Structure 1
Amino acid sequence: MGRDGSSGSGAGDSLVRKVLLSYFYVGIWIFLSFSVIIYNKYILDPKMYNWPFPISLTMIHMGFCSSIAVLLVRGLRLVELPSSPPMTHELYISSVVPIGALYAFSLWFSNSAYIYLSVSFIQMLKALMPVAVYSISILLSKESFRRATMANMLSISFGVAIAAYGEARFDAWGVLLQLGAVAFEATRLVLIQILLSSKGIALNPITTLYYVAPCCLVFLTLPWAIVELPVLRGTSSFHFDFLVFGTNSLCAFALNLAVFLLVDRTSALTMNVAGVVKDWLLIAFSWSVIRDTVTTINLVGYGIAFLGVGYYNHIKLQALKAKETQKKTAPDDEEARNLIEEKEGKSESQV
């Protein structure tokens, strides 16, 4: 009886430890994601640090992440590149380059939006991500059309539209930039499934940055040379602040690691749910600390979108549970099938 009690206690302690670790990973991700968003807003906003060069900021991030990834992979050899399947030149061009290009434009447009829009309104617009992912998945034949799902997507869109209607600092160009960022990011997420996951290519955050970050840097070079370089040349008063941009880049790099840690130790769905919590925290911070105007119509609209996203996550969770149950019962079904075939074979031989 003592043994049973101790084993039950051990299982309970293990469960509590897992739950606490999950909350710890969620907390780290929320903190780093929160920090990067607020830090980027601080640097880019004309009313704060006033350095409105989003392409340059994105290139600084990618250059920093590329350098750290190359050091860990090639220099210190602490991280191994995937060998099955090997990353050939053809595979890199066909799979990594399109993802890198989409990631570059997604970061560029997303950072640009901070110049024109409030943090709270940007988070409300980001609620459209499930809508964009589902729509693009249908276009690329990755998902099948379902009326119930599309109705849910329309409810999210309706909520975001109400939030936009009530936005005090509405800027059409900023909204277009953020919607473009959502579209590029959604396409990137779908293509990761099509071009990488389907081919059995599994990348951790370091190897992802090793392959993708230099690609992003290359794709950003041309727009940077055309749009921002001439202005930077004419800004003689600017001096590169290593403390500000160094810590900002370090936060961006740490966020990439935190994303992998959270998804690897919990699930992608946990990150989606945690993302909703982070959005509400950012809206509260934007209203109380940065003093952005958050109207009642804003909150009503985002509340509707929030319910739609919550329902979407619930459906995804049910689908994942069903898939896990199917995996657990599959071996038993296979064993039963083998027994039936064996019996049928014996009866045929007796006849």
Structure 2
Amino acid sequence: MARPQPNELSLDDSLTSSPPEYYSDQEAVYSPSNSIGYVASVEEKKRLWWRNAVVNMMFIGSWFFFAILLSVYNKWMFSDSHFNFPYPLFVTSLHMIVQFALAALVLNIWPKKFKPDRYPTPEEYGKKAFPTGAATSLDIGLSNLSLKTVSLSFYTMVKSSSLIFVLLFAFLFHLERFSWRLVGVIILICSGVLLMVATETHFVLGGFLLVISASALGGLRWGLTQVLFQNKKMGFSNPASTIFLLSPIMAVTLCTLSIIIESWSKLFGSEFFSGPTRTMQTILLLLAPGVLAFCMVLSEFYIIQRAGMVPMSIAGIAKEVATITVSAWFFGDELTPLNITGVGITICGIVLFTYHKYLKSIQSTVPLDGHGNPILEEEMALNADDAEYSVELDETVRLTSDRGSLEIHPAESESQMLFSAEEELES
């Protein structure tokens, strides 16, 4: 399909030059620059898919990097043989405070890029933001609490069910169109994860209930987060402003859980706060990794905003596969044939999911502006009135520039005139 070239009309020839050509109502769209839009061809959709894939992979790589650093920190911080700080909820709540401060800093340094035009009202904040922040906090809190009663392998096996909950909430919130092919791919990936971490372990009912609840809350969390990104007029227009608005809720919720579960009286009476020097060292070690957490969550939110919650969860499974593979390669962790089979099945599932998303993007209708860039839905909505006005203006140009149309199409001309000669004579 050939691209239409917009006509540049000067003041002198605007009424005499031929009007621009438009596609049908289903194909013609308008860009914010008033260039005529068109529907992308298959080759253009392939080009856009690869361009988006490269950008998404950059954010996923950034997320991998900061998540691995944070995992190493957590292992060092909570390990009995290292720092041995047994208060994970307290640490995570401090990280939320650091994230809030960093997000506020970003909004003030780059207000044009990150500061929203308006913030949610108290009612909107309570209905939209609070459930998202609470679900995130409870997901983190229950996950950390469960690790005190179950092994890491058992935790990973049960937590892999979060993919099922992610898909369920994606369907419920109409974030993904139902597809049996997608359901099959998700089940395949979950099966691979179960085999990948399968070990001889004893079943703990209490720990199982904690992990399965965290998995359900994780699916709800990502679903609500993606819904928030679609409410750009409420202030959740970008990841930085979203962190700024959500982190206070998460900090308060995690602090409350920490007070109930971890007993702050024992915490501040421990050796970690035994003197001024020791206290400053502890505070520094607790707060500094909050920068890593901020960068990790920022990458997470960019992935959700660009790709959605289901690809984000698939990326999380890919991270687990990479972690297990690297551990086996560098640290000599033993993998049974069953584990290796699970890794292979999981990788196949991830490849199939990527192919599924590729097919969807190729088969979808992608509107492009006059420069070949995709037109976002919100841009099309904001410029809908301008597009309607442009069509009316073009019709005016056509009627005024079509000289001699009164003689060639008399019937049509009479219908277009407000008064006819016969009516004047009769009156």
- Of 52-61 and 147-156, deviating more is 147-156
Q: Which residue of 2 aligns with 1:310?
A: 351
Q: Which residue of 2 aligns with 1:151?
A: 184
More helix, by proportion: 1
In the superposition, relative to structure 1, how do residues 207 and 77 fare at CA in structure 2: closer, same or farther (>3 Å)?
Answer: same
Three-state SS of the structure 2 residue aligned to 1:238 is: helix
Which runs of 5 or more structure 1 residues have no equivalent in the other structure? 1-15
- Of 128-137 and 233-242, deviating more is 233-242
Tell me how far apart the structure 2 counterparts of residues 146 and 23 of structure 1 sit (CA, whole Å). Answer: 24
Three-state SS of the structure 1 residue aligned to 2:86 is: coil
Offset, 1:26: 4.6
In the superposition, relative to structure 1, how do residues 147 and 276 fare at CA in structure 2: closer, same or farther (>3 Å)?
Answer: closer
Three-state SS of the structure 2 residue aligned to 1:167 is: coil
Aligned length: 322
Three-state SS of the structure 1 residue aligned to 2:126 is: helix
What do the CA deviations read for 1:52-80 (whole angstroms, capped 9, x no partner)? 3221121111121122223444xx45435
After TM superposition, the score normalised by the length of structure 2 is 0.61
What do the CA deviations read for 1:290-320 (whole angstroms, capped 9, x no partner)? 6655433233234323423432232123223
Q: Which residue of 1 aligns with 2:26?
A: none
In the superposition, relative to structure 1, how do residues 291 and 247 fare at CA in structure 2: closer, same or farther (>3 Å)?
Answer: farther
Offset, 1:124: 6.0
Q: Which residue of 2 aligns with 1:250?
A: 291
Tell me how far apart the structure 2 counterparts of residues 109 and 88 of structure 1 sit (CA, whole Å). Answer: 30
Q: Which residue of 1 aligns with 2:33?
A: none
Aligned residue identity for 2:115: L
In the superposition, relative to structure 1, how do residues 286 and 170 fare at CA in structure 2: closer, same or farther (>3 Å)?
Answer: farther
Aligned residue identity for 2:216: A
Tell me how far apart the structure 2 counterparts of residues 131 and 17 of structure 1 sit (CA, whole Å). Answer: 29
Q: Residue 59 of structure 2 contacts residue 299 of structure 2 at CA under 8 Å; is this kept in 1?
A: yes
Is 2:342 the partner of 1:301? yes
Aligned equivalent of 1:167, options 195, 199, 215: 199
Aligned equivalent of 2:367, options 327, 331, 338: 327
Q: Residue 165 of structure 2 contacts residue 219 of structure 2 at CA under 8 Å; is this kept in 1?
A: yes
Aligned equivalent of 1:107, options 126, 137, 140: 140
What do the CA deviations read for 1:153-210 (whole angstroms, capped 9, x no partner)? 333333333345x224566455554443332121122123445515655432321121
Three-state SS of the structure 1 residue aligned to 2:230 is: helix
Identity %, equivalent residues: 24
Q: Which residue of 2 aligns with 1:228?
A: 262
Tell me how far apart the structure 2 counterparts of residues 20 and 192 of structure 1 sit (CA, whole Å). Answer: 23
Tell me how far apart the structure 1 counterparts of residues 190 and 239 of structure 2 sit (CA, whole Å). Answer: 31
Tell me how far apart the structure 1 counterparts of residues 293 and 78 of structure 2 sit (CA, whole Å). Answer: 15
In the superposition, relative to structure 1, how do residues 37 and 24 fare at CA in structure 2: closer, same or farther (>3 Å)?
Answer: same
Three-state SS of the structure 1 residue aligned to 2:272 is: coil
Offset, 1:263: 6.7
Is 2:412 the partner of 1:349? yes
Aligned residue identity for 2:74: N
What do the CA deviations read for 1:214-252 (whole angstroms, capped 9, x no partner)? 001122232222111257348522345244323322211
Q: Residue 318 of structure 2 contacts residue 350 of structure 2 at CA under 8 Å; is this kept in 1?
A: no
Q: Which residue of 2 aligns with 1:206?
A: 240
In the superposition, relative to structure 1, how do residues 150 and 280 fare at CA in structure 2: closer, same or farther (>3 Å)?
Answer: closer
Q: Which residue of 1 aligns with 2:89?
A: 55
In the superposition, relative to structure 1, how do residues 204 and 170 fare at CA in structure 2: closer, same or farther (>3 Å)?
Answer: farther
In the superposition, relative to structure 1, how do residues 27 and 234 fare at CA in structure 2: closer, same or farther (>3 Å)?
Answer: closer
Q: Which residue of 2 aligns with 1:4?
A: none
Is 2:319 the partner of 1:278? yes
Three-state SS of the structure 2 residue aligned to 1:93 is: helix
Q: Residue 168 of structure 1 contacts residue 293 of structure 1 at CA under 8 Å; is this kept in 2?
A: no
Aligned equivalent of 2:116, options 64, 79, 82: 82
Tell me how far apart the structure 2 counterparts of residues 39 and 154 of structure 1 sit (CA, whole Å). Answer: 32
Alignment of 1:15-26 (within 5 A): 25-26=59-60
Q: Residue 135 of structure 2 contacts residue 217 of structure 2 at CA under 8 Å; is this kept in 1?
A: yes
Aligned residue identity for 1:150: V
Aligned residue identity for 2:71: I
Q: Residue 89 of structure 2 contacts residue 254 of structure 2 at CA under 8 Å; is this kept in 1?
A: yes
Three-state SS of the structure 1 residue aligned to 2:237 is: coil
Aligned equivalent of 2:78, options 37, 41, 44: 44
Which runs of 5 or more structure 2 residues have no equivalent in the other structure? 1-49, 274-278, 376-386, 399-404, 416-427
Aligned equivalent of 1:34, options 49, 64, 68: 68
Three-state SS of the structure 2 residue aligned to 1:87 is: coil
Tell me how far apart the structure 2 counterparts of residues 37 and 297 of structure 1 sit (CA, whole Å). Answer: 25
Q: Residue 143 of structure 2 contacts residue 211 of structure 2 at CA under 8 Å; is this kept in 1?
A: yes
Is 2:227 the partner of 1:186? no
After TM superposition, the score normalised by the length of structure 1 is 0.72
Tell me how far apart the structure 1 counterparts of residues 127 and 307 of structure 2 sit (CA, whole Å). Answer: 28
CA RMSD of aligned residues (A): 4.2
Tell me how far apart the structure 1 counterparts of residues 412 and 351 of structure 2 sit (CA, whole Å). Answer: 58
Offset, 1:20: 8.1
Q: Which residue of 1 aligns with 2:125?
A: 92
When Rg is computed on C-alpha atoms for both structures, the one with the higher figure is: 2
Tell me how far apart the structure 1 counterparts of residues 194 and 56 of structure 2 sit (CA, whole Å). Answer: 34
Tell me how far apart the structure 1 counterparts of residues 57 and 191 of structure 2 sit (CA, whole Å). Answer: 32
